[in-house]
Structure 1
Amino acid sequence: MVKTADSDTVGLKKQWQIFLIALAFFTRIPIPANTPYSTQRLNQANRYFGVVGIIVGAISAAVYLLTLTLFPPEIAIAFAMGCSLLATGAFHEDGLADVFDGFGGGWDVEQKLNIMKDSRLGTYGAAALVMALGIKWLTLAAIAEIDPFLPALLLVVMHTLSRICAASLIFSYPYVRADQTSKVKPLANQQSPQDLWVLIATGLIILLLLPLNAATVLILVLLATRVLCGKWFEHQLGGYTGDCLGATQQLTEIAGYMALLALL
């Protein structure tokens, strides 16, 4: 079948709409109300989760650089982190807290899932959330002491790569069907090889922003963290839920900052 200019235009329009679904799902950024939505398109949207990370990271980096003109780096980092929380509605942080609450307080899979669906924040989740935000702030502040402009670059890099790591779990691990009533529904729970390759390509492009040695170390650390997260979820639940993907994003983001700080 011969491709025409019209079919290419339709294809590009569909991809743009799928990207908008990804943007709406992971951020509070408004999209056109007439954007077509379906479960199939949400599943396809996971290919653009890394691109959403670029946008969130770029917004955070811009806030950091702007605030840096008025305040010390530590304050600028706090503003940048706060901006990312506002941009995403603390979506991933909520997943992290739910995972620690569920895994810390549940005895079996059903109980863990029930705890994770509870909107209330428990002790395990609160502790994990405070530690995660604190470690991120401390690590970025330490990096800023070495180079005050470096956190801006790393915010873009790690917001992107961490979302790619989280989304790639969809390809490797089973979705826990007992999570059907989870409060984070709807959820992308299928990933094609094409979706995965788009994610990988996005990550490789972002890695070009770093020196070769830093990119190599980062790849190894993030792959190891991704595997450990996947095995942890598989052991606890038999697969992943939406909260697990959020927790993976947070944990890989932290691991990336710490690896780069150690390298510096």
Structure 2
Amino acid sequence: MVEDEMPGRPAEDASLSAARVVADAALCVRFFSRLPLPRLNRMDDPDRAPEFSRSSHAAPLAGMVVGAPAALLLLLLSFTALPPLASAALVAGLLAAITGALHEDGLGDVADGFFGGATVERRLEIMKDSRVGAFGALTLAAAFVLKTALIAGLLTRFGAGAAAVLLAGEALSRWAMLTQWQRLPSARPEGLGTRFGRPDAGQVLLGGAWALLGLMAALGVAPFSTVILGAACAMALAHLTSRLALAKIGGFTGDVLGAVQQVSQMGFLIGLQLLAP
């Protein structure tokens, strides 16, 4: 009787694992975006507090889900006569709207805090302030213009394939965020890492596999060398941002993680377009 049941166990375990991945991805989507996901399976609880020590690996998968509406819009606009810059501006705006400008807010707060305060305590105080200062406003304006121009460049170079490249950047930038989240100490004892946990090396490794899945989509439309260069630029900028955070405030905050996602996303798009087609 036991022998008859044994063949069914691997399939059952695989089903449970798949359900857990879906639940973890849904948790990350709800936390990092405004998308109203219903309960997806019995392991998914929309009211559960995040447990990033267990579920953060799914952030790259969530990035692709969060970026899917913008990628679809980019795909549709690629078949119109709308100028690439206009199409790109609409797509960049939609990306920000889907997340409630969560990561953009982090980038602006980091710019204000890091360059507007003279001490660690003052920088952290500025970063908690909901008001946007001059450094933050200038950084956000420059980032939006740059992102729009880069997405327009994707349209010009890859046409409809730009949508796949955009999704790859959404996945990779979330993995870049995970790598720095795991490496840096928390700058605030009461901050994100303390309240909801943080990824360990295993979570980062598994998240890298999901990010690689996204990069495979980009490899379907872009040369291998450009995708690798884009990934290298993304990770280099993520590392530089985390080193700056360590020097300025002694570690990470939620704002720093948002900034890492933004700069690595733009780094990926920059690297992809550094070489001539």
With normalisation by structure 2, the TM-score equals 0.84
Alpha-carbon displacement from aligned partner over 1:164-223 (angstroms, at most 9, x marks no partner): 101211211111124x2x6x7986542122211111111222222323212321232222
For residues 214 and 19 of structure 2, what CA distance do their matches in structure 1 show? Answer: 24
State how many pairs are aligned: 259
The higher radius of gyration belongs to 2
User: Aligned to 1:262, what secondary structure does the other structure show?
Assistant: coil
State whether residues 21 and 58 of structure 2, in contact with CA within 8 Å, keep that contact through their aligned partners in structure 1. Answer: no
State whether residues 64 and 77 of structure 1, in contact with CA within 8 Å, keep that contact through their aligned partners in structure 2. Answer: yes
CA 1:111–1:197: 2 relative to 1, 3 Å: same
Q: Which residue of structure 2 lines up, in the alignment, with residue 207 of structure 1?
A: 215
Q: Which residue of structure 1 lines up, in the alignment, with residue 88 of structure 2?
A: 77
CA 1:203–1:16: 2 relative to 1, 3 Å: closer
Find the partner of 2:27 among 10, 21, 25: 21
Find the partner of 1:123 among 119, 122, 134: 134
State whether residues 232 and 268 of structure 2, in contact with CA within 8 Å, keep that contact through their aligned partners in structure 1. Answer: no
State whether residues 88 and 149 of structure 2, in contact with CA within 8 Å, keep that contact through their aligned partners in structure 1. Answer: no
State whether residues 57 and 157 of structure 1, in contact with CA within 8 Å, keep that contact through their aligned partners in structure 2. Answer: no
For residues 97 and 156 of structure 1, what CA distance do their matches in structure 2 show? Answer: 23
Compute the RMSD of aligned alpha carbons.
2.4
Q: Which residue of structure 2 lines up, in the alignment, with residue 58 of structure 1?
A: 68
For residues 247 and 187 of structure 1, what CA distance do their matches in structure 2 show? Answer: 20
State whether residues 165 and 226 of structure 1, in contact with CA within 8 Å, keep that contact through their aligned partners in structure 2. Answer: yes
CA 1:11–1:143: 2 relative to 1, 3 Å: closer
Q: Which runs of 4+ in 1 moved over 6 A?
A: 184-187
For residues 115 and 152 of structure 2, what CA distance do their matches in structure 1 show? Answer: 30
State whether residues 172 and 231 of structure 2, in contact with CA within 8 Å, keep that contact through their aligned partners in structure 1. Answer: no
Find the partner of 1:160 among 159, 171, 178: 171
Q: Which residue of structure 2 lines up, in the alignment, with residue 67 of structure 1?
A: 77
Q: Does 1:194 align with 2:202?
A: yes
Q: Which amino acid aligns with 2:269?
A: Y
Report the alpha carbon displacement of residue 22 of structure 1 after superposing the two structures with TM: 0.6
Q: Which residue of structure 1 lines up, in the alignment, with residue 254 of structure 2?
A: 242
State whether residues 53 and 198 of structure 2, in contact with CA within 8 Å, keep that contact through their aligned partners in structure 1. Answer: yes
CA 1:255–1:187: 2 relative to 1, 3 Å: farther
Q: Which residue of structure 1 lines up, in the alignment, with residue 42 of structure 2?
A: none
User: Aligned to 1:149, what secondary structure does the other structure show?
Assistant: helix
Q: Which amino acid aligns with 1:42?
A: F
State whether residues 175 and 189 of structure 1, in contact with CA within 8 Å, keep that contact through their aligned partners in structure 2. Answer: no
Q: Which amino acid aligns with 2:212?
A: L
State whether residues 175 and 239 of structure 1, in contact with CA within 8 Å, keep that contact through their aligned partners in structure 2. Answer: yes
Structure 2, unpaired ranges of 5+: 1-5, 40-44
Report the alpha carbon displacement of residue 118 of structure 1 after superposing the two structures with TM: 0.8
Q: Which residue of structure 2 lines up, in the alignment, with residue 177 of structure 1?
A: 188
With normalisation by structure 1, the TM-score equals 0.88
For residues 10 and 36 of structure 1, what CA distance do their matches in structure 2 show? Answer: 20
Find the partner of 2:105 among 94, 107, 120: 94
CA 1:147–1:219: 2 relative to 1, 3 Å: closer
For residues 16 and 266 of structure 2, what CA distance do their matches in structure 1 show? Answer: 39
Alpha-carbon displacement from aligned partner over 1:126-151 (angstroms, at most 9, x marks no partner): 00000001011112223333343343
Structure 1, unpaired ranges of 5+: none
**Which 10-residue stretch deviates more, 52-61 or 157-166?**
52-61
Q: Which amino acid aligns with 2:83?
A: P
User: Aligned to 1:208, what secondary structure does the other structure show?
Assistant: helix
